[in-house]
């Protein structure tokens, strides 16, 4: 991204040698960046007077007393108290929050959906959000919601932020630009982006229509999983996460800011752009990550490992080893296990699993689970390969095989996921999905030997 590609009126950090590339590498680093030289104070956070007449303001993403707290110091044209006035409630009918348990919707079952078709109407990031499931309780900051976004129109003089949680964005079609208080992120399929709780931003369509998936995390922020015996390398490496350099707008125009708070939506009217952070330093910031840099680890002799070995990010809960949410990636990889059933095995799980297909064919479901589609296997409901996958893997010649041109993911949570009315009645649900196991044969006949 070059400085010429920025939105009109937006100024980004520059160095003596010219524009930065736009991003700084690292995960949860303590970054510092300035869009104007000398805007960032040195040696202290809140000087009596800031350069350029800026205001110093702290954005805290965690309690002050948390070990290694998440916070960023911002040096901005106006303090955030100038970016809100009186609020009015607004209706965003298809964006739901937990708890959202409906008496006439059955969430118990194995579900799968075709891709949600693009709409003919203009849809922004806010109006195009479609909630599929909710889990936990947004008021106690535990659990999550999963969404599909359908975006055809850029936000114009409209901005958004959520007090309810961070948003993990997984594009499937189209390209989006997130113009945030702390810099600009462009994201496309095979990449993900993270928008922290409380961060103000505007979403623009670079290549549309755009469709993708969102995990709204009500709880502790996503972090990298503990690698344990795997060691210091592979999986998601910290250097591959990219945080934007500072960029700001100094623009007066009638504007609106939409706030999501405790599952409700409110709008406030202001007279300027709130994206006015000229410099910042800290570890609480948005980022993007290229899923093609994820280095999977797997079985190199026999058996299929637990899917947790493919975890990209985890949001811990209060129960050790049991995540509020795991983000898991199933991408291209080699299968080499000997004398083994190589696809994911049949399973009942205390965790609830919502999967989405970014592109390609998923090995446990070669038919029906198509790019843009998704599936839900709730807590303690059995699932696994269909007959074609089972028979194919049971009788295949076990030579080294590369799973190529495939990328699916999973939002996995410790909480049961409840369907919204939209997911149960309006989204393209595959009513015959449960039948994919109907043709599995009984092979047991009481005689010894492999059948």
pLDDT of 412-442, one tens digit each?
Answer: 999 999 999 999 999 999 999 999 999 999 9
For 396, the token pair is 């295949």
Reported as a pLDDT band with limits 50, 70 and 90, residue 21 is: low
Predicted TM-score (pTM) of this structure: 0.94
DSSP3 helix / strand / coil % (the chain, rounded to 5): 10, 40, 50
pLDDT, tens digit, 9 for 90 and up, residues 284-310: 999 999 999 999 999 999 998 989 999
Tell me: the pLDDT tens digits for 388-419? 899 999 999 999 999 999 999 999 999 999 99
The answer to whether the beta carbons of residues 80 and 276 sit under 8 Å apart is no
Classified as helix, coil or strand, 391 is: helix
Residue 365 confidence class, pLDDT cut points 50, 70, 90: low
DSSP annotation of 351 = S
> Quick one: pLDDT band at residue 5, thresholds 50, 70, 90?
low
Q: How confident is the model at residue 324 (pLDDT cuts 50, 70, 90)?
A: very high
For the chain, the residue count is 451
Region 210-234: what's the mean pLDDT?
95
Residue of 118, 266, 304, 347 marked catalytic: 304
Strands 55-60 and 252-261: unpaired
Higher pLDDT residue, 24 or 20?
A: 24
pLDDT-derived band of residue 49, with 50, 70 and 90 as boundaries?
very high
User: What are phi and psi for residue 426, nearest 5 degrees?
Assistant: -110, -35
User: What is the pLDDT, as a whole number, of residue 368?
Assistant: 85
Quick check: is 304 catalytic?
yes
């Amino acid at each position: 991204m070059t400085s010429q590609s920025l939105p009109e009126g937006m100024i980004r950090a520059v160095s003596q040698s010219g524009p930065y590339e736009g991003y700084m590498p690292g995960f949860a680093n303590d970054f510092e960046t300035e869009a104007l030289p000398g805007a960032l104070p040195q040696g202290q956070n809140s000087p009596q007077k800031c350069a350029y007449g800026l205001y110093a303001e702290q954005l805290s993403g965690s309690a002050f007393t948390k070990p290694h707290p998440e916070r960023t110091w911002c040096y901005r044209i106006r303090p955030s108290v100038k970016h809100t006035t009186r609020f009015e409630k607004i209706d965003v009918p298809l964006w739901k929050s937990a708890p959202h348990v409906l008496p006439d919707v059955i969430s118990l079952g194995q579900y799968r959906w075709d891709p949600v078709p693009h709409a003919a109407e203009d849809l922004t990031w806010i109006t195009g959000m479609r909630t599929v499931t909710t889990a936990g309780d947004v008021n106690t900051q535990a659990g999550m919601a999963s969404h599909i976004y359908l975006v055809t129109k850029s936000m114009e003089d409209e901005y958004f932020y959520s007090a309810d949680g961070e948003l993990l964005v997984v594009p499937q079609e189209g390209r989006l630009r997130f113009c945030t208080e702390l810099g600009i992120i462009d994201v496309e399929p095979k990449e993900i982006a993270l928008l922290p709780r409380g961060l103000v931003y505007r979403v623009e369509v670079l290549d549309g229509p755009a469709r993708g998936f969102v995990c709204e995390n009500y709880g502790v922020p996503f972090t990298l999983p503990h690698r344990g015996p795997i060691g210091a390398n592979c999986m998601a490496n910290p250097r591959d996460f990219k945080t934007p350099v500072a960029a700001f707008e100094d623009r007066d125009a009638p504007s609106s800011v939409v706030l999501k708070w405790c599952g409700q939506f409110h709008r406030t009217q202001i007279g300027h752009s709130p994206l006015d952070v000229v410099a910042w330093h800290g570890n609480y910031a948005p980022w993007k990550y290229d899923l093609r840099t994820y280095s999977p680890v797997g079985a190199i002799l026999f058996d299929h490992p637990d899917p947790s070995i493919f975890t990209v990010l985890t949001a811990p809960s209060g129960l050790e080893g049991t995540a509020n949410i795991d983000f898991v990636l199933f991408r291209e990889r080699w299968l080499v296990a000997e004398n083994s059933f190589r696809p994911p095995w049949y399973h009942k799980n205390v965790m609830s699993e919502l999967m989405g297909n970014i592109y390609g064919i998923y090995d446990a479901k070669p038919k029906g689970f198509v790019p843009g589609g998704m599936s839900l296997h709730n807590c303690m409901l059995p699932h696994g390969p269909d007959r074609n996958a089972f028979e194919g893997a049971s009788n295949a010649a076990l030579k080294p095989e590369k799973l190529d041109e495939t990328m699916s993911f999973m939002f996995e949570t410790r909480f049961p996921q409840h369907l919204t009315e939209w997911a149960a009645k309006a989204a393209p649900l595959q009513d015959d999905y449960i039948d994919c196991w109907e043709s599995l044969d009984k092979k047991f006949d009481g005689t010894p030997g492999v059948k």
